[in-house]
Amino acid sequence: MIVNWYRYSSPISFYPLAGRLARVFGVLAVVFTLAGLYIGLIVAPTDATQGDAYRIIFLHVPTAWMAMFIYLVMAFWSALALGFNTRLSAMMAQALAPTGALMAALALWSGAFWGRPTWGTYWAWDARMTSTLILLFLYLGIIALRNAIDDPRRADRACALLALVGAVNVPIIYFSVQWWNTLHQGSSISLTAAPKMAMTMLEGLLVMTAGVWSYCIAVTLARVRAIIVERERGAGWVASLIAPQGAR
Amino acid sequence: MSPTAVPQPDAASVSAAFAWALGRDLRIALRSKAELGVQLMFYVIVVSLFPLASSPSREVLATLGPGVLWTAALLASLLSLPRLFAADFGDGTLEQIALSPRPLPALVSGKMAAHWLTTGLPVAVLAPLLGEQYAMDGTELWILAAALLLGTPILSLLGAIGATLTLGARGGGSLLALLVLPLYAPVLIFGAGAVDAVRSGLSAGPQLSLLAAGLLLALVGTPFAVAAAVRIALD
Amino acid sequence: MSPTAVPQPDAASVSAAFAWALGRDLRIALRSKAELGVQLMFYVIVVSLFPLASSPSREVLATLGPGVLWTAALLASLLSLPRLFAADFGDGTLEQIALSPRPLPALVSGKMAAHWLTTGLPVAVLAPLLGEQYAMDGTELWILAAALLLGTPILSLLGAIGATLTLGARGGGSLLALLVLPLYAPVLIFGAGAVDAVRSGLSAGPQLSLLAAGLLLALVGTPFAVAAAVRIALD
Amino acid sequence: MLETRSLAARRGFATLFQGLGFALAAGEALVVSGPNGCGKTTLLRMLAGLSAPAEGEICWDGASVRPFDAKLREAVAFNGHLPALKDELTAFENLAAWTTLENERADAQAIDRALADVALARRARIPARALSQGQRRRIGLARLSLSRRRLWILDEPLTALDSDGVEVLETLLAAHLEGGGLVVAASHQALPVPTANLRPLDLATVPGGSHG
Amino acid sequence: MLETRSLAARRGFATLFQGLGFALAAGEALVVSGPNGCGKTTLLRMLAGLSAPAEGEICWDGASVRPFDAKLREAVAFNGHLPALKDELTAFENLAAWTTLENERADAQAIDRALADVALARRARIPARALSQGQRRRIGLARLSLSRRRLWILDEPLTALDSDGVEVLETLLAAHLEGGGLVVAASHQALPVPTANLRPLDLATVPGGSHG
Ligand code: HEM
Ligand SMILES: Nc1ncnc2c1ncn2[C@@H]1O[C@H](COP(=O)(O)OP(=O)(O)OP(=O)(O)O)[C@@H](O)[C@H]1O
Ligand SMILES: Nc1ncnc2c1ncn2[C@@H]1O[C@H](COP(=O)(O)OP(=O)(O)OP(=O)(O)O)[C@@H](O)[C@H]1O
Ligand SMILES: [Mg+2]
Ligand SMILES: [Mg+2]
């Protein structure tokens, strides 16, 4: 077990594995998303109060979830990178940031367009919105910081530290705004309460979530492969990897 | 560690290190009085801008007051952050500080304290005077001052993280702002919320306690984060 | 001067000098495309801070708008201006610039133009978009953009005087800088006042003409003042 | 005392040196030479504990040390390219601040004496900004003379020094090595170190380098 | 060409030198020496037109010149203590910017050749921040090689240069003097200038100095 982890914590052995996984999750992403869209746009009935506008939920909720979840994962890899100085975990964190930013941006964008018909405004300063916005800024800050530091090793550690500081900050923002002002609706999926949503809607939501999730995994792994090649192109094994492909 | 290891930083060496950095930075800051002047002038200009420019009604002013005073405090803090570590980094002082046997977190804390004393504290003192412009009454001004006294140190602490992370990075000022402003958000929300609470007849207790809790958290955590960032920057 | 004297700076050499300084500073400022993004993000965050602090109503927001957008412009200007000349001074570039045969006022004008293009212009362009958040309507947004376009260059120009005067950091110069900074205030007042005028049904003409006059005055005078200050700083 | 094993440094995609191993005993001075850009400064910063080697390890007093190791920090005095002077403070204030930072117990008289030794007595009370290049470097020498650190790491210590300044450095180095101190220095000129204590290291001959 | 009459420099209440007069003809190199703080840098900055002498006058091509004189600015290339490098820009970009500023018409190939001459071909495209101390000074040498200025003013040009670098400087100086250029340099070491062209000036022997 331990041996396995060590084996895959080196970029050399992770590279081919990531390639295979990326392909699998890429296929899953397409399948789940198509199924989710089918359920969401065709099977699910029009809502009595909101009309068809509510269908934004099938994009909004999965992306909002992923925006938060990816940040957690990124913070986890960052902690590993800082603590154990492992190259691969820093690369994972680096690869996650753009996808996280995309998810946060999609959640904000879809939320804003949902807000227009339902609350009559694109924007309000509420807990979820504010914390999603700040999350987006944190992602962008991490990306910008990396771009601004020439030495990748130093960039790794600086970004990891920023990600961890941000990880403390996001929950604080969430609660600070919640105590101060609330407009956004609360969680409607919980394990303890009876489901409040229609069954088809829930199904569609879950399938879409699986699709978005798979997409994130596939894209991140593909990106991490690109990062490995870029960063380790001095090393022999990467050179031998690139040469035959270039010849083809 | 072996028995002959260097003694772990004890309270005396921590406070000596803190005092060293604080004294040194204060002395340098007071040699260039103009910089302090620019800081305060910026604060006064920003705060006076709204009543001057838009001559709003008293109620509107009163609504605006806390937000404006807080945002201005935040921007004033931001304005001086780039210089907090960059000068030391550029002239090699930071290397020497990081190589000193004294505990680095205590040393950087001294620097952050000096930053607060030269930016946050003057703002907290000035704000109640400027608050008069915003039709704020006695209690509100007191609460405002209290909130600023609790909140501005957090700004200096969190800001220092951004300032050290951007050392040796391209793009300075606005990159720093981009990293730091999201971290500032909760302080701003609670800080401005404190005055709003008293104004709407509630107690400002919760907000002030939250600020105090945040300050404690920041006091405990940031010195280590900043010390780590300093070491990363020097590598 | 003797007949063999160096030709007086003609229009071509002035514009070449201007273009050189402008191009170089722009290149440094925009070393990576990401930096442009950082600049823009910075305004968006600063502009979003006020509503975050005071959760105001639509009318209050509308009152706030011009002031907030102007403050953001001021901050952007202030955050990067000291670095613009201080960096050149610290690494010896300013010496080389001052020793170049090219006309110094044109060279510093190029620097100031680069500063405005990277701080003032983006604000002026973004402001109408961000103004939406502040419940401002079409005409108001146009007037706002116009006022910012006229006013932000003045900020860059006046700021450059302050920045060069503080370079050597001998007491006298810094004091002068303190005298220059308050000149920012009228720019902000007229600038924010322009929008308020349209809002209250008046014409923004007077404010805009005053800004334009100020801009002309600054354009004519500051290059020479800054060039003189640079030479003083190097002595 | 100071020992390295198969040390390597990489910058960007260039390997500056690798497989570097040496052992330096008390009273010895390692003088690193080599062409511009061969990695002298990089090596010195690693030895001072400022940056981590790409490979290999550094041992101090028999124990392997990582960057910013507490025991190394107790022992090292690092004089790099940067002067670490505050322009706003005077030579005296700068020196006082350094010695306090190093935990040395130097009183005002000792500091004044150290400044006089480097011929700065008459310039001790003006802002460091006004000092000449060589005078600024001399404050660094005064600092070494007050320091009781065991390992001195000096990057091009001869820069900007006149012949008197070189003599001052010579005296300092001799006394330090005499007292069992260690020195690691990078220089393009011959350093004034007694040949008995000198351990030259030419980085150009260490494998891995691809300079220029 | 370059002439001074009873030049004096004062800093604070100290007179660094006074009554300094010399005349430097085409093809000659004035090498200024003297202890730290004797006023070498101060003199060079006066000659470059960066600061005004306390007394006396400086003549260039027979005409008395004041600081920032237009004709002097056409003629002078000044390499001071400060490198005037932008860390964000590459060596190539820095050099290109300088030559344009000097009104020289240098194309990309000439710049690349100049960088290759100072052995920086392989480091020409990384940010100057990453370069070693000596590599940074070499960019200054490359700049001189592209410059067609008549009067070179060099403050401690040997700083941080390895022996190859010194050779490059030697070639540059010889060619410049050969072509009728003038050089004023301050240095603590012997400069590689042909003795025929050398005009030494020991500032310590100029009256008025009270150093230390
Ligand atoms: C820009 C504005 C918005 C942002 C940033 C935003 C953000 C979020 C976030 C972060 C979540 C996940 C929260 C959680 O599960 O705890 C979420 C969930 C949700 N949002 Fe939004 N939202 C926005 C606007 C809206 C609007 C306008 C509506 C509808 C009126 C809406 C309806 C929902 C619903 C129904 C959920 C699912 C809650 C659940 O079941 O847990 N959101 N949103
Ligand atoms: N990102 C990078 N890509 C390529 N090379 C780099 C990078 N960063 C640094 N370098 C190189 O690493 C080397 C650092 O050398 P270092 O400063 O240790 O040299 P040095 O031996 O001290 O030279 P000097 O005698 O000039 O002081 C330089 O050759 C520099 O060009
Ligand atoms: N305000 C002041 N009061 C007294 N002395 C001053 C003042 N400002 C500068 N000085 C002195 O003026 C001198 C400037 O010397 P300069 O930099 O020209 O020396 P230098 O010959 O280049 O020395 P080095 O060899 O160290 O580079 C120094 O001795 C400095 O101490
Ligand atoms: Mg070096
Ligand atoms: Mg000198």
Chain centroid to CA C146: 15
Is A227 in a helix, a strand, or coil?
A: helix
Give pLDDT, residue C2: 44
CA angle E115, E118, E123 (to 5 degrees): 55
**Interface ipTM:** 0.89
Residues of chain E found within 8 Å of residue C91, distances taken between Cβ atoms: 82-87
Please give the pLDDT value at position D211.
46
Q: Residue C9: pLDDT above 80?
A: no
pLDDT of residue B230: 96
Tell me the pLDDT tens digit for each residue of A175-221: 776 676 544 555 554 444 444 456 777 888 899 899 999 999 999 99
Candidates E108, E103, E94, E98; CA nearest to E136 is: E94
3-state SS string over chain D?
CEEEEEEEEEECCEEEEEEEEEEECCCCEEEEECCCCCCHHHHHHHHHCCCCCCEEEEEECCEEECCCCHHHHHHEEEECCCCCCCCCCEHHHHHHHHHHHCCCCCCHHHHHHHHHHCCCHHHCCCEHHHCCHHHHHHHHHHHHHHCCCCEEEEECCCCCCCHHHHHHHHHHHHHHHHCCCEEEEECCCCCCCCHHHEEEEEHHHCCCCCCC
Q: Residue D50 has what pLDDT?
A: 95
Which residue among A54, A126, A170, A184 is best mutated to probe the pocket of ligand 1, counting the most ligand atoms within 8 A of its Cβ?
A184
The H or E element spanning position A150 is none
Task: Please give the DSSP secondary-structure letter assigned to residue A186.
Answer: -
pLDDT band at A4 (very low <50, low <70, confident <90, very high): low
pLDDT band at A1 (very low <50, low <70, confident <90, very high): very low
Q: Which of A136-150, B198-212, D137-151, E29-43 has the lowest mean pLDDT?
A: B198-212
Q: Which atom of ligand 1 is nearest to the CA of A118?
A: 30
> Could you give the count of Cα atoms lying within 13 Å of B69 in the half-sphere of its Cβ?
38
Hey, CA dihedral for E47, E50, E51, E57, is it positive or negative? positive
DSSP H or E run through E15: strand E14-24
Residue A3: pLDDT above 60? no
pLDDT in tens, A67-107: 999 999 999 999 999 988 888 899 999 999 999 999 999 99
Ligand 3 pocket member E135 (CB < 6 A): no
Which pLDDT belongs to residue D205?
85
* Intervals of chain B under pLDDT 50: 1-7
Backbone dihedral region for residue A120 (phi beyond 0: left; psi -120 to 50: alpha; all else: beta): left
B-proximal residues of C, 150-169, CB under 8 Å: 162, 166, 169
* pLDDT, mean of residues E150-154: 96
Say whether pLDDT at C71 is over 90.
no
pLDDT value of residue B35 = 67
Q: Which strand (E) or helix (H) includes residue E8?
A: strand E2-11
Q: What pLDDT does A242 receive? A: 64
Find all residues with CB under 8 Å of E13, minimum gap 6, and list them: none
| Most ligand 2 atoms within 8 A of CB, residue of D17, D20, D31, D42 to mutate | D42
Q: Which residues contact A118 (CB under 8 A, 6 or more apart)?
A: A50, A53
Specify if A7 maps to a domain. Answer: no
Burial (0-12, 13-18, 19+ Cβ within 10 Å), B212: middle
Query: Quick check: is A51 in a domain?
Result: yes
Residue C177 has a pLDDT of 64
User: How much is the pLDDT for E105?
Assistant: 74
At the second CATH level, the architecture of E2-205 is 3-Layer(aba) Sandwich (3.40)
Which ligand neighbours the alpha carbon of D34 most closely?
2
- Provide the pLDDT for residue C198: 81
Note whether E41 and D132 are within 8 A (CB).
Answer: yes
> Binning pLDDT at 50, 70 and 90, where does residue A223 land?
very high
Cβ(C84)–Cβ(C166) below 8 Å: no
Tell which phi-psi region holds residue B46, choosing left (phi > 0), alpha (psi between -120 and 50) or beta. alpha
pLDDT single digits (tens) A11-41: 778 888 888 899 999 999 999 989 888 887 7
Q: What is the mean pLDDT of residues C183-206?
A: 82
Please name which of D97, D79, D75, D99 lies closest in space to residue D88, comparing C-alpha atoms: D97
pLDDT for res C7: 47
Q: Where are the domains of chain E?
A: 2-205
Tens-place pLDDT, residues C123-149: 888 888 887 777 777 888 888 889 999
Segment holding E9, helix H or strand E: strand E2-11
**pLDDT confidence bin for C46, thresholds 50/70/90:** confident
Instruction: Please compute the mean of the pLDDT values over residues E104-132 and round it to a whole number.
Output: 90
A243 belongs to a structural domain: no
Instruction: Say how far apart CA A85 and CA A9 lie, in whole Å.
Output: 11
**What pLDDT score does A43 carry?**
77
Q: Are E26 and E181 in contact (CB under 8 A)?
A: yes
The mean predicted confidence, pLDDT, of chain C is 82
* pLDDT above 60 (res C4): no
What is the pLDDT at residue C131?
79
What is the average per-residue pLDDT within E103-130?
89
Total domains, chain A = 1
Walk along chain D (212 residues) in steps of 10 and give the mean pLDDT of each run. 93 88 95 95 96 93 93 94 90 92 81 94 91 94 92 95 94 95 95 92 77 44
Question: What global pTM score does this model have?
Answer: 0.90
Closest CA–CA distance from residue E154 to any residue of chain C (Å): 13
What is the structure's pLDDT at E1? 83
d(CA C62, CA D189): 70
**What range defines the domain where residue A108 resides?**
12-183+197-238
Q: In chain B, what are the domain boundaries?
A: 15-234
**CB-CB: which of D122, D165, D189 is closest to E36?**
D165
**Residue C67 amino acid letter:** G
A184 CA → ligand 1 middle, Å: 6
**In sequence order, which residues have a C-beta less than 8 Å from that of residue D70 and are 6 or more positions away?**
B5, B6, B101
**Percent share of chain A, pLDDT over 90:** 37
The residues in A 206-245 lying below 8 A from D, measured between CB atoms, are 233-234
The CB of E134 under 6 Å from ligand 2? The reply is yes
